[in-house]
Copies of this chain bind each other. A is one copy, B any other.
Amino acid sequence: MKLRALAERLQCRLEGDGDLDIVRMSAIDHAGPGDLTFVANPRYIAQLRSTGASAVIVAATLRRPPHLRADCALLRAADPYTAFAQAVRLFAQEAAPRKGIDRLTAVAKDASIGADVAIGPFVAIDSGASIGARTIVYPNVVIGRGARIGDDCVLHSQVAIREGVVIGHRVTIQNGAVVGSDGFGFATQPDGSHLKIPQQADVVIEDDVEIGANTTIDRPAVGETRIRAGTKIDNLVQIGHGVSVGRRVLLASQVGIAGSAVIDDDVVMGGQVGVGGHLRVGRRAVAAGKTVITKSVAPGTFLTGYPGIPNREWRKASVIFRRLPELKKRVEELERLVTQLATKRPRRRAASRRR
């Protein structure tokens, strides 16, 4: 595609030769002639010195890096990351599997299969399940009894959708994810044994959700587990039984959310964050990676640490944590000095004696 056309499609301002042919998107350090790359994160500007790219997407306000090759064109974007995203989408190649149902599948007679689906080999679809139009089901996926999958979904290989789970439209589920496994619900008995509470209630995944590889989403005994529209969940995340996740939430890899927690809209969690059971995390709250959320969180709070406290406080306290040995020495020195002050003066000692 000509760079000029690309600039128009991406709503970027072009600086350089609009007749350049761009053939793909590329990373700064992998780019060669014909490649378009981008810099959204300032830490990578220095890498422009050595890039072989024909053009770079940069921020509208960025001064042209002096070390950039003179013949490297710029596409200036209000939001370079979004322009990059859109450029990747332009060059992305659809590699959908062949339409139809592979002959090596086990599809129940009463399952309902939408138009133009692509269902790969070794897929098992149990009785009463339904698959929406144009949905792609890769090999070795298992869909349980009565589960309902919407239109235009993509289920990558080895995904498990348990019985009765409801999944909306345009949901993408990466390989090996499990939706609807039994929640961890046991009632401990006087003899110490743990009585299983059957977990048979609902799991609902709303439209436009993405679920990462090997992530697990549990079903509860009563009520429901629900992931609301537009939420994106990374790999190896645990969503406990009865959890409610709001709209447009972002959960990075290895986050764990314990049972019955409520995550409000637009929350963002870094990797490996843990959320205790029955807590509520308010709208737009953010938790840095590894934060341990032990109490409900007010909307908009930015938490960090174990236990999670406001990020500003955590950063200040962490700096001092590291210097605790020094602080302790200063206290010891003070104790020495104060003892000296108190004992070196007769009057002071007399005063002490009087008490």
Q: Does chain B have a CB within 8 A of A52?
A: no
- Interfacial residues of chain A within 250-276, with CB under 8 A of chain B in the complex: 250, 252-254, 256, 258, 266, 270-272, 274, 276
Which of A15-23, A60-68, A109-117, A326-334 lies at the interface with chain B? A326-334
CB distance from A246 to the nearest CB of B (A): 11
Inter-chain CA distance A242–B340, complex, in Å, is 58
Residues on the B chain within 8 Å of A201, using CB: 27
Contact size range, A: 35 or more
Q: Does chain B have a CB within 8 A of A198?
A: yes
Inter-chain CA distance A352–B142, complex, in Å, is 80
Q: Does chain B have a CB within 8 A of A197?
A: yes
- Interfacial residues of chain A within 236-253, with CB under 8 A of chain B in the complex: 236, 238, 240, 242, 248, 250, 252-253
Inter-chain CA distance A194–B85, complex, in Å, is 10
- Apart from the given pairs A25-B221, A92-B198, A122-B140, 14 other A-B contacts in the complex at a CB distance below 8 Å: A27-B222, A82-B195, A85-B197, A85-B221, A88-B221, A156-B162, A158-B176, A172-B182, A216-B235, A218-B235, A238-B254, A289-B292, A306-B306, A345-B347
Tell whether, in the assembled complex, residue B290 and residue A306 are in contact, meaning their CB atoms are under 8 Å apart. yes
Q: Which of B89, B163, B222, B272 contacts A37 (CB 8 A)?
A: B222
Q: Which of B106, B120, B208, B345 contacts A102 (CB 8 A)?
A: B106
Q: Does chain B have a CB within 8 A of A320?
A: yes
Inter-chain CA distance A143–B236, complex, in Å, is 21
CB distance from A212 to the nearest CB of B (A): 7
Inter-chain CA distance A30–B342, complex, in Å, is 65
Tell whether, in the assembled complex, residue A214 and residue B214 are in contact, meaning their CB atoms are under 8 Å apart. yes
Tell whether, in the assembled complex, residue B194 and residue A248 are in contact, meaning their CB atoms are under 8 Å apart. yes
CB distance from A307 to the nearest CB of B (A): 6
Q: Which of B163, B306, B322 contacts A313 (CB 8 A)?
A: B322
Q: Does chain B have a CB within 8 A of A178?
A: yes
Tell whether, in the assembled complex, residue A213 and residue B216 are in contact, meaning their CB atoms are under 8 Å apart. yes
Q: Does chain B have a CB within 8 A of A12?
A: no
Inter-chain CA distance A144–B189, complex, in Å, is 35
Tell whether, in the assembled complex, residue B330 and residue A324 are in contact, meaning their CB atoms are under 8 Å apart. no
Chain A to chain B contacts (Cβ below 8 Å), 16 pairs: A79-B187, A88-B200, A89-B198, A95-B163, A140-B142, A156-B181, A160-B175, A172-B182, A178-B213, A194-B230, A271-B274, A320-B324, A327-B328, A334-B334, A334-B338, A337-B338
Tell whether, in the assembled complex, residue B194 and residue A258 are in contact, meaning their CB atoms are under 8 Å apart. no
CB distance from A270 to the nearest CB of B (A): 8
CB distance from A6 to the nearest CB of B (A): 15
Residues on the B chain within 8 Å of A194, using CB: 230, 232, 248, 250
- Residue with the highest number of chain B CB atoms closer than 10 Å, among A208, A221, A222, A254: A222
